[in-house]
């Protein structure tokens, strides 16, 4: 794409902020409610057909956890942001879900939902859809209650640090999930690979990695904030996982339909990767 050619030629990107310091400054203006509105209300939160992006994302996760292979004591979610949809299928298989985010405003938004406080974002359409596709006839309120019970720590994180939590996570997590975070906080592909390698320190050998992310995205809006994103292709994701020492199990991609290209970003598509940290790691 011309975005990529511009990026490859090193031409100045519109509003690109090429350093971690500039990115940090950009995130000072991140508005969680605007971000939720942009991505988790209609038209993107359209559950009427599997061809829409939210059902596609939820199905990737539901199908991956359905086998029961991915389970254990702790799953850590990296760059949770203000969203919990990505944890709905995971929460059946782990005693504790550790949520993390760089911004206090996002950790506070998560806390409001976890405590069932008024004014928290309404995730019930997502919970109802996940219960439907998991096909166990589970009342959505049961799923909501279980995630709230298992959503334990909500911690600050910075993926640019070798120890993203500031101190080593002990015991290390049995699984790690990250949705739309790394490409949105890395100035370039090399930083994306380094961040991915840092996440490896949080995971036990043999642990599973589940990544959801944007393809071909160069910016996104979150209220007053306009954040730069490193545009990734499927091959970049494969190479980054290998470079970070993970063994790829499955990679699926989704092309964003015109109806969902709403101007809140310039996403071309979405990827879902399931990988594993080698046992001898």
**Which positions touch ligand JIL (CB under 6 A)?**
27, 30, 39, 44, 53, 79, 81, 101-103, 106, 157-160, 180-181, 184-185, 214, 217, 220, 265, 267, 270
* Nearer Cβ to ligand JIL (147/195): 195
Q: How far apart are the first and last CA of the chain?
A: 36
* Nearer Cβ to ligand JIL (53/114): 53
Yes or no: say if 55 and 62 are a contact pair by the CB < 8 Å rule.
no
* Nearer Cβ to ligand JIL (159/211): 159
Q: What is the DSSP letter of 265?
A: B
* Nearer Cβ to ligand JIL (93/218): 218
* Nearer Cβ to ligand JIL (93/191): 191
* Nearer Cβ to ligand JIL (181/232): 181
- CB of 239: closest distance to ligand JIL in angstroms? 20
- CB of 174: closest distance to ligand JIL in angstroms? 21
- CB of 136: closest distance to ligand JIL in angstroms? 25
Q: Say what the alpha-carbon torsion angle 226, 27, 80, 64 is, to the nearest 10 degrees.
A: 40
H or E element in which residue 123 lies? none
Whats the size of the chain, residue-wise? 281
- CB of 240: closest distance to ligand JIL in angstroms? 16
- CB of 156: closest distance to ligand JIL in angstroms? 9
Yes or no: say if 2 and 218 are a contact pair by the CB < 8 Å rule.
no
- CB of 247: closest distance to ligand JIL in angstroms? 24
Helices (H), 28-159: 32-40, 53-66, 104-114, 124-134, 140-150
Mapping DSSP onto H, E and C, the string for 38-63 reads HHHCCCCCCCCCCCCHHHHHHHHHHH
């Amino acid at each position: 794409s011309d975005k990529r050619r511009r990026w490859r030629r090193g031409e100045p990107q519109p509003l690109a902020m090429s350093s971690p310091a500039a990115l940090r400054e950009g995130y000072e203006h991140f508005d969680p409610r605007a971000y939720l509105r942009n991505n988790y209300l209609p038209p993107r939160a359209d559950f009427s057909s599997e061809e829409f992006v939210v059902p596609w994302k939820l199905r990737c996760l539901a199908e991956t956890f359905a086998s029961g292979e991915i389970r254990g004591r702790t799953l850590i979610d990296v760059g949770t942001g203000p969203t919990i949809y990505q944890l709905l299928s995971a929460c059946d298989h782990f005693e504790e879900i550790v949520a993390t985010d760089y911004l206090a405003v996002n950790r506070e938004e998560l806390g409001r939902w976890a405590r069932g406080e008024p004014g928290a974002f309404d995730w019930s359409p997502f919970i109802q859809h996940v219960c439907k596709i998991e096909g166990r006839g589970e009342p959505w309120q049961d799923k909501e209650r279980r995630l709230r019970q298992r959503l334990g720590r909500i911690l600050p994180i910075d993926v640019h640090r070798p120890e993203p939590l500031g101190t080593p996570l002990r015991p290390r997590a049995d699984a790690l999930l990250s949705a739309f975070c790394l490409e949105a906080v890395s100035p370039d592909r090399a930083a994306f690979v380094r961040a991915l390698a840092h996440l490896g320190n949080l995971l036990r050998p043999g642990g599973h990695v589940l990544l959801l992310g944007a393809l071909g995205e160069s910016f996104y809006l979150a209220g007053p904030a306009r954040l730069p994103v490193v545009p990734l292709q499927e091959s970049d994701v494969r190479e980054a996982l290998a470079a970070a020492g993970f063994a790829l199990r499955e990679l699926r991609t989704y092309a964003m339909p015109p109806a969902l290209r709403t101007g809140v970003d310039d996403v071309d598509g979405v990827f879902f990767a399931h990988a594993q940290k080698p046992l001898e790691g």
